[in-house]
Chains A and B, each alone.
Chain A
Amino acid sequence: MFEELSNFRKYLPSRKSFRNMTPLARRELKSGMAFLTPWIIGFFAFTLLPIVASLIFSFMNLSITDGLLSPPKFVGFDNYVTLLNDRQAGVDPRTWINWFSSGTPTSMGVTITFALVSLPIGILFPLGLAVLMNNPNLKGKMLFRSLFYMPFIVPFVASVFLWGGMLNSETGWINRVLIALGMAKEATPDWANSTFWVYPTYTIMGIWGVGNAMLIMLAGLQSVPTELYDAATVDGANGWHTFWKITFPMISPVIFYNLTLGIVGVFQYFLVPLVVNNGTGRPGGATMFYSLYLFRNFFTFQDMSYGSTLAWFLFIIILLITFVLFGTAKYWVYYAGESRS
């Protein structure tokens, strides 16, 4: 097959010729699909079946508590109707806005609020770190990179205990420092127990494990040729200008990646609130994230069908956002290697 592919080049000169487009397209399809094969096999062998099964679950009344030993039935769109009327899930956009004033916040509202707080920081902080790590004047780069990366390796449970100790409202280190700096004990933040501080708390815990995003940004930065910077210097451009005109476009594909995964991550965010705030949504429902609500239905209440329904709604939401995001990409993501014919 690859010998065939090696003849690829003979089609290159005639690339723009309409007459030869069809065989070229065929070759491209063949080569492309050949490289995609591992994923396609894996998709059908390991991924598709479970995904389809979970879709089917969402149309059934499958629940361990109801006794799985009796065969579950199809219930049509019942679960989806329930979902639309489920105030806690908050799939009705009208419940997303002003949830502070309208009683218990909805899960979708909580998730979106947290996304607005944490996503920008989750992109900018690792980007800033990566720029710093890429600075040619920085001494001891390897050491710095390793040390900034280190928290990412800490196992989740250990980090929960760690932050529990750092951010405890009674005896935590951070509050001790604040008191030592002259703050009154009553004025120190309640961190994970305060509706105001809980998102900053989660964000702090999140950016601590930022090492991987930093590394990805760094990989992007390292692919920017220094000539571009040199030319800019000769041109007398300042640092900010250089960043926007050269660095940002060159690493925009990597930022795009981090942004997409950040959105997926924030919509699937559940482990931290589950462990740190016992998964009860405290304080005042501010931590009942959509995926936590999903997890509770799926595993805690063992209602696999309603859990799957919530999951498929989530799937559709993320898919729509992804479409929009990919649609915007052509305005701000610069692909040096994308042919623009």
Chain B
Amino acid sequence: MTKVLSTNVQEKSSAREKAVSRTVSPNWRKNLNGFTITAFTLAILVLFLSPFAFMIFTSLKTQDQISIVGAPIYPAAPPKFEYNGEQLEIFIVPLPDGTTKELAMFKKGQKESTFIDPANLDAGEILWTGSWRLLDRPWEFSPTYSNYSEAWGAINYPQKLWNTFQYAIVSVIGTLISCTLVAYGFARFRFPGRDLLFIVLISTIFLPAFVTVIPTYTFFVKIGWVGTWLPLIVPHFFANAYNVFLLRQYFLTLPRELDEAAMIDGASPLRVLWSVIIPQSYPVFMAITVFHIVFAWNDYFGPVVYLASAPDKWPISYALSMFNGIYGQRPQLIQAGALMALILPLILFVVAQRFFVQGIVVTGVEK
């Protein structure tokens, strides 16, 4: 057992094989207090997700609430008092006798202002000297949900989400199949020129995508694909460098002993891929699937270039960017719109996670 700690390849591979054949053994980390580690993670999470609080609070504010300097960070509004058909703001005004009272602002002035007392209208106008900007206000929690309905109304969410959903699903299937095949080819076969081809594959992502957009667009115009989903979907069925690279790296961590055993049993390479490699690769498929869904969700310049003339085909990213361009000065709507667009991919993420974790359990790869 002492040899396991060495970097000896042989030792590791055999230990690895044992793992796949699923031996249950005690875990040294059980000694660690689960509570401590969870609390620690929770603390990081709270820091990490604090921007979401900003996002949610912003989405629940009116433009007015965002604008008030010195307002609480949560959606809050000063209470108002209706007087002769006008909405007067309430302030906490210090009185000469040292007490404070909630008064309604009747007339603003830089040096002195007049108030009325909502509880005692008969007192008439009360003149107060000083800058009203220094006065506190009795803030009330006051969320505005209408941003969501407004954002919902400005974008045809069901149609756009459905477009995006179809795009995401079709292209994720294409990517998974094609990239798995290609990565398998790179990871498990030795032939002259393989490494060169691999560098060629990787190098296709070295040029920034926008540099090749003009010839690509010209090509798709010429074959008549502009205005359809084809330029955005079909290429995904022919593998891409990002995912092939990732899958190749992952496949290379899998020991060959199982492949070779299967081959000795008469399995074809495709069979080996299907019943030996894929079952061990659920975590990475999970990573690729969710990554690709998010990519499809936010892919924006492609649809803009190819689908400008087909509004009924626009994905949610297109609609959102249009929306963001128009409401650039209204962050509350942008955040509400973004939060609503976030929900579906998040659900897909959770579902994908469950699906793949189940797959791992069934096939016996330790998660």
Give the residues in chain B near A261, CB-CB below 8 Å: 242, 245
Give residues of chain B (10-53) contacting chain A, Cβ–Cβ below 8 Å: 12-13, 15-16, 18-20, 23, 25-30, 32-34, 37-38, 40-41, 44-45, 48-52
A247-269 interface with B by 8 A CB criterion: 249-251, 253-254, 256-257, 260-261, 264, 268
Say whether, besides A157-B324, A315-B206, A235 and B238 are in contact (CB < 8 Å): no
Q: Which residues of B contact A301 (CB under 8 A)?
A: none
A180: min CB distance to chain B, Å: 11
| Chain A positions within 8 Å of B345 at CB level | 153
Chain B's closest residue to A336 (CB) is: B255
Residues of B within 8 A of A315 (CB): 203, 206-207
- How many chain B residues sit at the interface, stated as a range, is 35 or more
Task: From B27, B34, B267, give the contact of A138 (CB < 8 A).
Answer: B34
Q: Which of A42-50, A79-87, A98-106 contacts B (4 or more CB under 8 A)?
A: A42-50
Contact B19 A225 (CB under 8 A): yes
**Cα A171 to Cα B354 with chains together (Å):** 41
- Note all chain A residues with C-beta closer than 8 A to B1: 231, 234-235
In the complex, residue of chain B having the shortest beta-carbon distance to the beta carbon of A32 = B189
* In the assembled complex, B305 has its CB within 8 A of some CB on chain A: no
CB atoms of B249 and A137 under 8 A apart? no
Q: Complex formed: what's the CA distance from A3 to B211 in Å?
A: 43
Contact stretch, chosen from B90-98, B115-123, B142-150, B359-367: B359-367
Asked if B84 CB lies within 8 Å of chain A CBs, one says: no
From B133-141, B279-287, B306-314, the one touching the partner chain is B279-287
- Residues of A within 8 Å of B337, CB to CB, are 158
- Determine whether the beta carbon of B238 is less than 8 Å from that of A222: no
Taking a contact as CB atoms under 8 Å apart, the answer to whether A264 and B239 are in contact is no
A158 in contact with B250 (CB, 8 Å): no
Closest Cβ neighbor of A208 among chain B residues = B51
Q: Which residue of B lies closest to A62 (CB)?
A: B214
Within the assembled complex, what's the spacing in Å between the Cα atoms of A177 and B205?
41
Q: Which residues of A contact B192 (CB under 8 A)?
A: 25, 29
Q: Which residues of chain A have C-beta atoms less than 8 A from B208's C-beta? A: 268, 270, 291, 294-295, 311, 314
Query: Do A32 and B15 contact each other (CB < 8 Å), given the known contacts A38-B237, A41-B238?
Result: no
Complex CA gap A337/B266 in Å reads: 20
Cα–Cα, bound, A104→B321 (Å) = 34
Q: In the complex, are the beta carbons of B13 and A43 less than 8 A apart?
A: no
B contact patch SS:
helix
The interface residues of chain B lying within 8 Å CB-to-CB of A75 are: none
Chain A residue nearest to B38 (CB atoms) is: A139
A138-165 residues with Cβ-Cβ distance < 8 A to B are 138-140, 142, 144-158, 161-163, 165
Select B207's contact among A6, A144, A165, A314, beta carbons within 8 Å.
A314
Q: Which residues of B contact A231 (CB under 8 A)?
A: 1, 4-5, 15
The answer on a CB contact under 8 Å between A12 and B280 is no
A36 interface neighbour in B25, B185, B237, B259, Cβ under 8 Å: B185
A interface residues, tally (CB under 8 Å): 123
Interface-central residue, A39, A142, A291, A294, by most chain B CB under 10 Å: A39
Question: What is the CA–CA distance of A137 and B41 in the complex, to the nearest angstrom?
Answer: 11
* A166-B51, A228-B12, A257-B245 given; A336·B37 CB < 8 A: no
Contact A5 B270 (CB under 8 A): yes
Checking A135, A161, A256, A340 against B334 with a beta-carbon cut-off of 8 angstroms, the contacting residue is A161
- Docked pose: A152 CA to B270 CA in angstroms: 34
Judge whether B250 and A254 touch: CB under 8 Å.
yes
Report the stretch among B105-113, B124-132, B290-298 that lies at the interface. B290-298
Residues in A with CB closer than 8 Å to B238 are: 38-39, 41-43, 45-46
CA gap between A119 and B25 in the complex, in Å? 37
**Quick one: which of B30, B54, B219 contacts A162, CB cutoff 8 A?**
B54
Q: Does A77 contact B (CB under 8 A)?
A: no
State in angstroms the CA–CA spacing of A315 and B212 once bound together.
Answer: 13
Q: Is B33's CB under 8 angstroms from A314's CB?
A: no
Residue A218 lies at the interface, judged by CB distance under 8 Å to chain B: yes
Residues of A within 8 A of B210 (CB): 295, 298-299
Nearest-CB distance from A122 to chain B (Å)? 15
A29 CA to B354 CA, complexed, in Å: 38
B4 and A226 contact, CB distance less than 8 A: no
Nearest CB in chain A to that of B360: its residue? A222
Complex alpha-carbon distance, A311 and B12, angstroms: 43
CB neighbours (8 Å) of B268 from chain A are 2-3, 5-6, 8
Q: Does A215 contact B (CB under 8 A)?
A: yes
B98 to chain A, nearest CB (A): 28
Contact of A32 with B4 in the complex, beta carbons under 8 Å = no
Q: How far is the CB of A71 from chain B (nearest CB, A)?
A: 15
- Which residues of A in the span 213-245 have a Cβ within 8 Å of any Cβ on B? 215-216, 218-220, 222-223, 225-235, 237, 241, 245
- Contacts known (A8-B268, A215-B287, A219-B250); A29 close to B51, Cβ less than 8 A: no
Q: Can you show 20 pairs from A to B with CB atoms below 8 A apart?
A: A39-B201, A49-B215, A51-B207, A54-B207, A137-B38, A138-B37, A152-B294, A162-B58, A215-B290, A216-B287, A222-B367, A225-B18, A232-B28, A237-B5, A245-B5, A253-B249, A314-B206, A318-B206, A322-B206, A326-B199
Measured CB to CB, the residues of B under 8 A from A are 1-2, 4-7, 9, 12-13, 15-16, 18-20, 23, 25-30, 32-34, 37-38, 40-41, 44-45, 48-52, 54-55, 58, 69, 73, 178, 181-182, 184-192, 194, 197, 199-208, 210-216, 219, 234-235, 237-239, 242, 244-246, 249-256, 259-260, 263-264, 266-271, 280, 283-284, 286-287, 290-291, 294, 297-298, 317, 320-321, 324, 331, 334-335, 337-338, 341-342, 345-346, 349-350, 353-354, 357, 360, 365-367
With A5-B270, A246-B5 given, name 15 new contacts (CB 8 A): A25-B190, A31-B189, A38-B182, A38-B237, A51-B207, A147-B45, A154-B338, A165-B54, A173-B54, A219-B284, A225-B19, A226-B27, A249-B7, A311-B207, A322-B202
